[in-house]
């Protein structure tokens, strides 16, 4: 048995395994950038990491603050602009991208714009940023949902998943055939999409989570894979990499913030 | 270039001259290197009724909206301080009915500026967004947020956005010369398009350098002098955001801002101290060091990792060799003139 891990470490590893060697990868802010660094170090040394700010083919040395962070690497190989980062995606050069989720529906359509009314929002969320265009044209999209919700109907339709399910995405003629979300990661499990109906289902469950815990977050009768597996225990190598590369990620946002504030207090007294 | 072409001026003069009430103002920077001091000066001068374009309307937009400068916002991404329990100036202003927001994707927003930069009236964007509420829900641009046209070559429907040519761009870069040649490197984002699409351009920079520095590295120049209206030298001009090669993000000051931004009163208190309370960037840095010491700022200064120089040299820079002979015809100037005379080419 390898050494004990944190939930966040388990999540980063699950995301990193979606990156295959030799792929072109668009990384989003937060968990995906640490996953990208892990994949590049352990599973996919020939992957080309990219960000929409035009930073292309970089090796992160520090966890990235955001998608325009050139301070966290020592140079990079190709400096282009945002316009070209999206046209290269449109032309099919991006294998996989990673997006965060505010709300997600049964077919992987996303809302990252608002809760409540669009014009007078209960909660104004960030907006599309690159999301709507990336999920449209990357070959695959991996969704990470740490604080978001499953809903019957999105408050605002920001980014297209499988539209009304079935063949509707392909039949719309708006997207490359076969593109769309392939996986959604939550704090409870890994979800995938049925190849025919395109409905999201639970494919893998994290240790110590019960199926009922997952189901209670989903407002419809969630389908469960007949061969439901448990997310594997991380290896020492994986845990060590994340803990050294991004200790705040290992700790999780709340604990990392608490520790940082405690340290600031200590310093100001010293 | 003649020395009298210098566009160097103070931030106060530049903003007062080029940013006026009701203007369309584009924030040139994208996520990093925000033109913080130029934004603060717009706030200090109390501009009203602005239409703000900002690719990632985070820190800059919160400050401008919080100060009541903004009537309309065109953006792709806004900030929310303090997660679900928190809030933002944008959210508060939308609910108060004082701010209209037009949402685009990153690419669409940038495409509007690229169209404007090149003098086109619209730009094709990626048609997938037709399936979304970005296309269906429109604010002050109404019908003109997007239009669908038929491609004359393929017959397919294409999604388009209208060109944007804002009245003025404010933008921070690493360095510039006094004529306005502005050099920027790192995450290129949409910085060049935002500036070049605009009618007027105000540049702030970490340092003003000799023209020769620019001439030997033209690949770094993203805005040429002839388009620039003002150059302001403002060290630490992007704090609390970062400038590649100069300083990292200031997690301490940014954290302080985020802690206060969640409520209207908090943001006002923060602005009273750090925007209205400091007449310029030098005063802001003085206040910072006085209050918190210099340890934070010293700790985020960048260590050098220089770009390998690109050789812009050539074999020679004169038609005449070291012996004073023309390189192709082998004559001295005197011999050449003698020949011109002998051949009847010279007139008295």
Residue to mutate among A55, A71, A131, A266, with most B CBs inside 10 A, is A71
Distance in angstroms (rounded) separating the CA atoms of residues B9 and B14 = 6
- Whether A235 and chain B come into contact, CB under 8 Å, resolves to no
Q: Is the pTM of this model over 0.80?
A: yes
Of B90, B105, B186, the CB nearest to A133: B105
pLDDT at residue number B18: 98
Task: Report the percent of chain B where pLDDT is more than 90.
Answer: 95
Do B117 and B217 belong to one domain?
Answer: yes
Q: How confident is the model at residue A270 (pLDDT cuts 50, 70, 90)?
A: low
Whether A269 shows a pLDDT value over 80: the answer reads no
Do B111 and B78 belong to one domain?
Answer: yes
Do B246 and B337 belong to one domain?
Answer: no
Cβ atoms < 10 Å from Cβ of A12: 31
Q: What is the CATH number of the domain that holds B246?
A: 3.40.1080.10
The answer to whether residue B210 sits within a structural domain is yes
Do B194 and B101 belong to one domain?
Answer: yes
Per-domain boundaries in chain A: 7-269
> Do A124 and B193 make contact, defined as CB atoms within 8 angstroms?
no
CATH no., domain A7-269:
3.40.1080.10
- Give pLDDT tens digits for B37-91: 999 999 999 999 999 999 998 999 999 999 999 999 999 999 988 777 889 999 9
Do B243 and B109 belong to one domain?
Answer: yes
Do B174 and B232 belong to one domain?
Answer: yes
For residue B346, the enclosing domain spans: 314-348
State the complex-level ipTM. Answer: 0.94
Average pLDDT over chain B, rounded to whole?
96
> Residues of A numbered 173-202 whose beta carbons fall under 8 angstroms of chain B's beta carbons: which are they?
174-175
Query: Greater confidence, B259 or A221?
Result: A221
Of A53, A65, A128, the CB nearest to B189: A53
The answer to whether residue B304 sits within a structural domain is no
- Give pLDDT tens digits for A68-93: 999 999 999 999 999 999 999 999 99
> Do A81 and B91 make contact, defined as CB atoms within 8 angstroms?
no
Whether B301 shows a pLDDT value over 60: the answer reads yes
Of B32, B88, B126, the CB nearest to A86: B126
Domain count, chain B: 2
Q: Which of B236, B174, B186, B179 is nearest to B212 (CA)?
A: B179
Number of A to B CB contacts under 8 A, please give it: 157
pLDDT at residue number B1: 47
Q: How confident is the model at residue B5 (pLDDT cuts 50, 70, 90)?
A: confident
- Whether A245 and chain B come into contact, CB under 8 Å, resolves to no
Residue to mutate among A56, A75, A81, A112, with most B CBs inside 10 A, is A81
pLDDT at residue number A81: 98
Do B115 and B68 belong to one domain?
Answer: yes
Do B259 and B332 belong to one domain?
Answer: no
* Residues of chain B contacting A258 with CB distance shorter than 8 Å: none
- Give pLDDT tens digits for A17-59: 999 999 999 998 789 999 999 999 999 999 999 999 999 999 9
> Do A136 and B126 make contact, defined as CB atoms within 8 angstroms?
yes
């Amino acid at each position: 048995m390898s050494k004990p891990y944190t939930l966040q470490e388990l999540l980063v590893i699950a995301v990193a395994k979606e990156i295959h060697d030799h792929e072109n990868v668009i990384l989003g802010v937060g968990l995906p950038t640490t996953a990208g660094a892990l994949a590049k170090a352990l599973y996919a040394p020939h992957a080309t990491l990219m960000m929409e700010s035009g930073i292309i083919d970089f090796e992160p040395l520090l966890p990235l603050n955001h998608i325009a962070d050139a301070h966290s690497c020592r140079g990079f190989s190709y400096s282009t602009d945002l316009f070209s980062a999206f046209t290269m995606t449109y032309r099919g050069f991006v294998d996989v991208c990673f997006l965060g989720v505010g709300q997600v529906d049964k077919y992987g359509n996303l809302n990252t714009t608002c809760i409540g009314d669009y014009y007078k929002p209960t909660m104004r969320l960030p907006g599309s940023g690159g999301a709507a265009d990336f999920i449209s044209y990357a070959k695959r999209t991996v969704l990470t949902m740490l604080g978001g919700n499953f809903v019957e109907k999105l408050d605002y339709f920001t980014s297209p998943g499988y539209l009304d399910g079935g063949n509707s995405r392909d039949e719309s003629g708006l997207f490359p055939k076969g593109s769309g979300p392939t996986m959604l990661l939550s704090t409870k499990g890994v979800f995938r999409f049925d190849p025919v109906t395109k409905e999201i289902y639970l494919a893998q469950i994290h240790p110590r989570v019960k199926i009922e815990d997952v189901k209670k977050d989903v407002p419809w009768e969630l389908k469960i894979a007949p061969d439901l597996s448990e997310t594997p225990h991380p290896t020492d190598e994986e845990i060590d990499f994340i803990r050294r590369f991004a200790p705040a990620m290992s700790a999780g946002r709340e604990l990392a913030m608490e520790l940082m504030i405690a340290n600031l207090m200590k310093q100001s007294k010293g | 270039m003649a020395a009298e072409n210098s566009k160097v001026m103070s931030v106060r003069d530049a903003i007062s001259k080029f940013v006026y009430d009701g203007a369309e103002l584009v924030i040139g920077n994208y996520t990093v290197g925000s033109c913080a001091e130029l934004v603060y000066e717009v706030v200090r001068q109390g501009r009203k009724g602005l239409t703000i374009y900002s690719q990632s309307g985070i820190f800059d937009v919160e400050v401008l909206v919080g100060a009541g400068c903004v009537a309309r916002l065109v953006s792709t991404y806004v900030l929310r301080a303090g997660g679900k329990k928190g809030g933002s100036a944008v959210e508060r202003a939308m609910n108060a009915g004082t701010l209209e927001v037009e949402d685009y994707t990153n690419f669409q927003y940038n495409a509007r500026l690229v169209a404007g930069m090149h003098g086109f009236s619209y730009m094709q964007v990626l048609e997938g967004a037709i399936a979304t509420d970005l296309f269906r829900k429109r604010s002050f641009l109404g019908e003109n947020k997007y239009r669908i046209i038929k491609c004359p070559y393929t017959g397919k429907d294409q999604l388009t956005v209208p060109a944007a040519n804002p009245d003025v761009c404010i933008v921070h870069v690493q360095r510039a010369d006094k004529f306005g040649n502005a050099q920027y490197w790192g995450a290129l984002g949409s910085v060049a398009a935002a500036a070049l699409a605009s009618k007027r351009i105000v540049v702030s920079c970490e340092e003003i350098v000799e023209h020769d520095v620019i001439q030997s590295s033209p690949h770094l120049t993203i805005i040429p002098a002839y388009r620039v209206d003002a150059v302001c030298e403002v060290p630490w001009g992007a704090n609390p955001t970062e400038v590649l090669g100069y300083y990292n993000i200031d997690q301490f000051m940014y954290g302080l801002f985020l802690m206060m931004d969640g409520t209207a009163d908090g943001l006002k208190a923060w602005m009273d101290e750090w925007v209205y309370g400091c007449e310029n960037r030098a005063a802001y840095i003085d206040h910072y060091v006085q209050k918190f010491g210099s340890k934070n700022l010293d700790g985020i200064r960048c260590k050098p990792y220089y770009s390998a120089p690109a050789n812009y040299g050539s074999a020679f820079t004169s038609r005449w060799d070291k012996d004073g002979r023309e390189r192709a015809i082998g004559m001295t100037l005197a011999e050449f003139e003698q020949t011109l005379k002998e051949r009847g080419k010279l007139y008295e």
